[in-house]
């Protein structure tokens, strides 16, 4: 075995194989009670743990339900002072889908989110954002994983505990209850694929907030992924973006760092319009257990009245942990057309099967 394989052996399951191998996979559907767990570490969000559980048969044989919970923590503080470890995001919710009625599934969606984050570009050392949502919707299944969903409901929003860097903060306290409409579509083109982290998929989502104390606001977002496999080597292409308009309050702003540019510009750019594309090559060192890679991300976004173009690129390491989770480590450097430069890293742990 190679020195790299010897180094990684304590962390992942690596074993020598002969000329032939036999792989047996037991396929499970989305609704059979599997717990999904994703962990991420980066400058933008700190350490974030995301979990979800989906199953069927809660009240009826053909009903379905899903519950999710996220938690994040990071070091926050003034640019020239000491940082303290604090929570940054708490998110949770549940969805209940009734049995099909006339070809669609009515559903009830309850969710909430707490943000405790930093926006130095707005002069905010920290702020707290609270959002509670309740919606009724209908979902039309296009397959086991593909669907279209439309719904309407209400959201309760509150912005407070603003701590300014100096003087008065640029934003003020705010609280309101608003009517909302939402839509979501997911198209999974390879529903039988074994690797759930490399599915060929297109996901689109959007919402509309009716005018109240603030004028109307809307958002449309998307993400796309396609992976090609050559033996144990992978080529992965991705695209994502967000468009917002109207009177959008700043906690809804899209962070460019990490979501669109891996490893760089965390807590630097927050925008209402961004589009990005990424390409990644993973070369096998030991089957699908250990791989080394190269990646490049590019993003275009509007900042104030200027259009900014930025790139992130570097090397990566990928390991299959306990034959269930995919560990991805990215080391990146980044450059932006407005003169910003940066370097950093990003770590992801995702369920692979």
Q: What is d(CA 37, CA 25) in angstroms, rounded to the nearest whole number?
A: 20
Does CATH number 3.40.50.720 belong to domain 75-351?
A: no
* 176, 201 Cβ separation under 8 angstroms: no
Between CA 237 and CA 245, with CA 242 as vertex, the angle to 5 degrees is: 165
Q: Looking at the predicted structure, is the pLDDT value of residue 13 above 50?
A: no
pLDDT bin (cut points 50, 70, 90) of residue 236 is very high
* 264, 340 Cβ separation under 8 angstroms: no
SS3 155: strand
pLDDT tens digits for 32-44?
A: 777 889 999 988 8
Copy the structure tokens of residue 190.
């390879």
Predicted model pTM: 0.88
SS3 305: coil
pLDDT tens digits for 301-342?
A: 998 778 999 999 999 999 999 888 999 999 999 999 999 999
pLDDT bin (cut points 50, 70, 90) of residue 109 is very high
At residue 169, the pLDDT reads 63
Start-end of H helices in 164-315? none
Report domain extents, the chain. Answer: 75-351
pLDDT tens digits for 277-297?
A: 999 999 999 998 999 999 999
* 348, 322 Cβ separation under 8 angstroms: no
A 10 A CB-CB count for 25 gives 7
Q: Which residue has the tokens 């003020």?
A: 172
């Amino acid at each position: 075995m190679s020195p790299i394989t010897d180094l990684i052996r304590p962390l992942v399951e690596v074993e020598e194989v002969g000329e032939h191998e036999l792989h047996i996979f037991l396929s499970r559907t989305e609704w059979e009670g599997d717990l999904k767990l994703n962990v991420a570490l980066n400058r933008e969000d700190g350490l974030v743990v995301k979990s979800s559980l989906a199953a069927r048969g809660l009240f009826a044989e053909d009903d379905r339900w899903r519950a999710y919970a996220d938690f994040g923590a990071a070091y926050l503080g003034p640019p020239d002072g000491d940082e303290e470890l604090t929570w940054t995001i708490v998110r949770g919710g549940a969805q209940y889908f009734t049995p099909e009625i006339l070809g669609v599934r009515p559903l009830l969606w309850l969710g909430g989110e707490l943000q405790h984050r930093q926006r130095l570009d707005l002069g905010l050392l920290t702020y707290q954002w609270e959002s509670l949502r309740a919606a009724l919707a209908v979902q039309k299944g296009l397959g086991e994983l593909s669907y279209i969903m439309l719904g309407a409901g209400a959201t309760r929003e509150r912005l407070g505990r603003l701590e300014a860097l100096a003087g008065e903060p640029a934003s003020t306290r705010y609280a309101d209850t608003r009517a909302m409409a939402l839509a979501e579509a997911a198209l999974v083109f390879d529903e039988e694929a074994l690797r759930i982290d490399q599915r060929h998929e297109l996901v689109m989502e959007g919402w509309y907030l009716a005018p109240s104390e603030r004028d109307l606001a809307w958002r449309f977002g998307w993400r796309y992924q396609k992976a090609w496999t050559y033996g144990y080597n992978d080529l992965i292409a991705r695209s994502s973006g967000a468009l917002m308009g109207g009177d959008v309050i700043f906690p809804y702003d899209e962070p460019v760092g990490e979501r669109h540019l891996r490893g760089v510009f965390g807590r630097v750019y927050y925008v209402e319009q961004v589009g990005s594309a990424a390409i990644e090559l993973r070369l096998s060192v030991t089957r699908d257990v250990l791989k080394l890679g190269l990646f490049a991300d590019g993003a275009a976004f509007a900042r104030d009245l200027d259009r900014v173009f930025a790139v992130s690129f570097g090397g990566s390491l990928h390991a299959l942990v306990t034959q269930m989770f995919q560990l991805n480590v990215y080391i990146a450097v980044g450059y932006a057309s407005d003169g910003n430069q940066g370097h950093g890293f990003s770590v992801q742990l995702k369920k692979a099967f």
